[in-house]
Amino acid sequence: MDLDATPFRAFLQVAKSRSFTRAAQELHVSQPALSATIRELERRLGFALFERTSRRVQLTWEGRAFLVNARRVVMEHDWAAQRAKEILSNDLRLAVQTYSVLISDRALLTDSYAAANPDVDIQIMQYGSERIYDVVRDHDADVAIVIEPSDRLELSPLNRALGSELETLPLASRQLGLYVPAGHPLADVASISSANLKGVRIAKIGRVHGGPLASAIGRYLDEIEAEPVRIPEGDAFSVVRHAEHHAIAAIDLGWFDARATLPNVRMLRKSIDGARLETEMVAIRLRREQRPAAERFWRFAMHGAWRSGDAAARGKAQSDETDYLRLA
């Protein structure tokens, strides 16, 4: 079995070089060997790929038609080879939501793990909130870190009642809050309760942060009889920016300070006393045996020493994980 897709690579190189001599040099093979490879490929395909003259080499009509298929074969081979390398290696493929680089807890976790495990090749891959669950199910990532409502209702891919195949590890939680502009009726209220929000216009986030989170926030605003406002851009930062422009309140997920990212924004950050809705940073993985690096990351996140920034505690956690993996 040719695991290198050699005939297809040879065909593509000759098509690119328009010369068997130059193609052979690029492929580091002899010209007779290259010619034999192309002839055998043509025999198996049943048509000629090139018109050869003493002066030039050019693709036949069939050769031009076959180019896209040859490129696809080589691309699929390269993906398969990379996947085989990942399977054999002890790297960690970690999926995160695109905006999570701005979440200090997520950055602290991944940075602490990397510092404590210099022998592990860590790939941190960014995905949209809807796609990230699929990459774990499809084995394209070992672990993912997501922001979810603490109550995993019917829309959540993590709903155990629906038989979710994903195992969860809650890492941290935040209570829902508000951003309010200066001059807003709530700007000078020291303690905001849900009752204060009845009839108040509040800009809500969209599905960019995940359908379950957007749905849970919309349901909460309906329950407290606030007036949800849909903003053209549904990410948490644009919601705050638009809300200030329209002098209304905006939802604060609690994971990042939009004012630090948007320095021209002067919104006030307010907590909501007794707010029922909390959001969680959750690690997820498939319920199956894990590769050593992925299992080590899970146990590192579970231990919790990364939250304190205590180097000694992180070292103890690392020792515990090493002992576990040696005995497993």
Say what the alpha-carbon torsion angle 304, 305, 308, 313 is, to the nearest 10 degrees: 160
227 burial class (0-12, 13-18, 19+ CB within 10 angstroms)? middle
Q: Are 155 and 226 in contact (CB under 8 A)?
A: no
pLDDT tens, position by position, 169-213: 999 999 999 999 999 999 999 889 989 999 999 999 998 888 888
pLDDT tens, position by position, 247-302: 999 999 999 888 888 888 889 999 998 778 889 999 999 988 888 889 999 999 99
pLDDT tens, position by position, 32-67: 999 999 999 999 999 999 998 777 889 999 999 999
Q: What percent of the chain has pLDDT over 70?
A: 88
**Residues counted in the chain:** 328
* Long-range contacts of the stretch 39-45 (C-beta < 8 A, 24+): 40/7, 41/7, 41/8, 41/10, 41/11
272 forms beta bridges with 192
214 burial class (0-12, 13-18, 19+ CB within 10 angstroms)? buried
> What are the two backbone dihedrals, phi and then psi, of residue 253, each rounded to the nearest 5 degrees?
-70, -20
Q: Are 34 and 14 in contact (CB under 8 A)?
A: yes
Cα–Cα distance, 6 to 38 (Å, whole number):
10
Q: Which domains does the chain have, with CATH numbers?
A: 6-88 (1.10.10.10), 92-167+283-327 (3.40.190), 177-276 (3.40.190.10)
Is the model's pLDDT at 85 over the cut of 80?
no
Q: Which residues of 187-208 are buried (b: 16+ CB within 10 A; e: fewer)?
A: eeeeebebebbeebbbbbbbeb
Q: Tokens in use for 144?
A: 């993912």
Return the H-helix or E-strand segment holding 272. strand 268-273
